[in-house]
Amino acid sequence: MQWPLVLTHFLDRARRLHHRRLIASRHAGGVFRYSYGDWAGRVDRLAAALTGLGVRRGDRVATFGWNSHRHFEAYFAVPCMGAVLHTMNVRLFPEQLAWVFNHAGDRVVLVDASLLPLFEKVRAQLTTVEHVIVMGDGEAPPGHLDYEALLAAAPARFDWPQLDEEEAAALCYTSGTTGHPKGVLYSHRSLVLHTLGIALTDAFQLREQDVLLAIVPMFHANAWGLPFAAAMLGCGVVLPGPHLQPKELADLIESEAVTFVGGVPTIVAGLYQHVKQEARKLPTLRQIIVGGSALPQVLLEGFERELGVEVVHAWGMTELAPAGSVSRLRAEMSEWPQEAKTRVRLLQGTPFPLVELRVVQEDGKEAPWDGVTPGELQARGPWVVRQYYNDPDSSLRFDGGWFRTGDVATIDELGYVKLVDRTKDMVKSGGEWISSVDLENAIMSHPQVAEAAVVAIAHPKWTERPLACVVPRQGKASEISRESIRAYLKGRVADWWLPDDVVVLDSVPKTSVGKFDKKVLREQFKDYTWPEVV
Ligand code: AMP
CA of residue 317 to ligand 1 center, whole Å: 6
CA of residue 348 to ligand 1 center, whole Å: 10
Q: Which residue has its alpha carbon closest to ligand 1 atom 6?
A: 317
Decide: 317 in ligand 1 pocket, CB within 6 A: yes
CA of residue 445 to ligand 1 center, whole Å: 30
Residue 142's identity, in one-letter code, is: P
Closest CA to 216 of 201, 198, 232: 198
Contact between 208 and 420 (Cβ < 8 Å): no
With 0-12 / 13-18 / 19 or more C-beta atoms within 10 angstroms meaning exposed / middle / buried, residue 54 is exposed
Q: Which of 407, 424, 427, 436 to mutate to test the pocket of ligand 1 (most atoms within 8 A of CB)?
A: 407
Q: Which residue has its alpha carbon closest to ligand 1 atom 8?
A: 292
At 534 the pLDDT is: 47
Return d(Cα 125, Cα 528) in angstroms, integer. 42
Contact between 327 and 347 (Cβ < 8 Å): yes
Shortest-distance atom of ligand 1 to CA 319: 2
CA of residue 331 to ligand 1 center, whole Å: 27
Decide: 324 in ligand 1 pocket, CB within 6 A: no
Return d(Cα 295, Cα 311) in angstroms, integer. 9
Decide: 500 in ligand 1 pocket, CB within 6 A: no
Decide: 174 in ligand 1 pocket, CB within 6 A: yes
Beta-strand ranges (E) seen in 356-397 are: 356-360, 375-380
Shortest-distance atom of ligand 1 to CA 433: 3
Return d(Cα 180, Cα 223) in angstroms, integer. 22
Decide: 316 in ligand 1 pocket, CB within 6 A: yes
Contact between 208 and 199 (Cβ < 8 Å): no
Contact between 86 and 190 (Cβ < 8 Å): no
Q: Pairing mode, if any, of strands 236-239 and 211-214?
A: parallel
Q: Which residue has its alpha carbon closest to ligand 1 atom 19?
A: 315
Q: What is the pLDDT along the chain (534 residues), one digit of tens a residue?
A: 999 999 999 999 999 999 999 999 999 999 999 999 999 999 999 999 999 999 999 999 999 999 999 999 999 999 999 999 999 999 998 889 999 999 999 999 999 999 999 999 999 999 999 999 999 999 999 989 999 999 999 999 999 999 999 999 999 999 866 678 999 999 999 999 999 999 999 999 999 999 999 999 999 999 999 999 999 999 999 999 999 999 999 999 999 999 999 999 999 999 999 999 999 999 999 999 999 999 999 999 999 999 999 999 999 999 999 999 999 999 999 999 999 999 999 999 999 999 999 999 999 999 999 999 999 999 999 999 999 999 987 888 999 999 999 999 999 999 999 999 888 889 999 999 998 988 999 999 999 999 999 999 999 999 999 999 999 999 988 999 999 999 999 999 999 999 999 999 999 998 887 888 888 998 899 889 998 744
Active site residue 276: no
Active site residue 3: no
At 178 the pLDDT is: 66
**pTM for the full model?**
0.94
Give the helix/strand (H/E) hosting 435.
strand 432-435
Contact between 241 and 110 (Cβ < 8 Å): no
- Which DSSP category does 293 fall into? S
Q: Of the residues 8, 174, 259, 405, which is catalytic? A: 174
